Amino acid sequence: MRGMRRTAGLLMLGFVGLGSVWACGDREPKPEGPPAKHREGRSEVLRGLMASKERVDPGALKGAGEDVKETPVSAQPTPAGTGGSGRPDAQGWAAGRVSWVGDDEVLFVDGQGEEREVRVEEGSRLRRDEQSAQLRDLSEGDEIRVTYEDTGEGWIARDLEAVPARKEPEPDPTSPPLR
């Protein structure tokens, strides 16, 4: 009797297992990844990013603006405090040793040995020894690091940080010679 119960139990488990396999096998496979609506949204975002990087002929822009000259421009000001400092992003940085300081510009030799010129304007921030400084505080031989904006006509300093020139230590005449 026990043998029949075991056999009947095993048959029932087999039928249940086959039934579940059969039921799972009839379903259509679930699509992988996000739904089509999400993929289309992502594609639209990527198209917008790529369009913002496209180069446009300036001559074509001038011609295109002729038909909208009569259109009034909205006088609504940009809301204050929308983030950032209000200054454009810096385009690069360089470091080197000052070779000349003018009224509104600094010449320095960068790490590759090239002489660079950077203009200092009213909005430029100058620091020396972790304190605010003036252009006249810089001197030949000072080490500088400058964050600049490239205007096409030259570099304009946004942030210029100077470290005073370090003098090479002179040998002590009382010390014994090295062998």
DSSP of 106-140: EEEEETTS-EEEEEEEEEEEEEETTEE--GGG--T
The residue among 127, 111, 118 whose CA lies nearest residue 162 is 127
* Strands 92-101 and 105-110, sheet pairing: antiparallel
With tokens 């510009």, the residue in question is 105
Give the range with max mean pLDDT: 41-50, 53-62, 72-81, 131-140. 131-140
Measured over the CA atoms of residue 12, residue 17, residue 20 and residue 21, the dihedral's sign is negative
Give 57-61 contacts, CB < 8 A, sequence gap 24+: none
Rounded Cα–Cα distance for residues 117 and 99 (Å): 10
Cβ atoms of 44 and 38 closer than 8 Å: no
Task: Supply the pTM of this predicted model.
Answer: 0.44
Structure-token pair, residue 86? 């209000």
The model's pLDDT over 123-170, given as tens digits with 9 standing for 90+, comes to 899 998 888 999 888 888 899 999 999 888 899 999 999 987 776 777
With tokens 């488990």, the residue in question is 13
Q: Does 82 score more than 60 pLDDT?
A: no
Rounded Cα–Cα distance for residues 75 and 38 (Å): 37
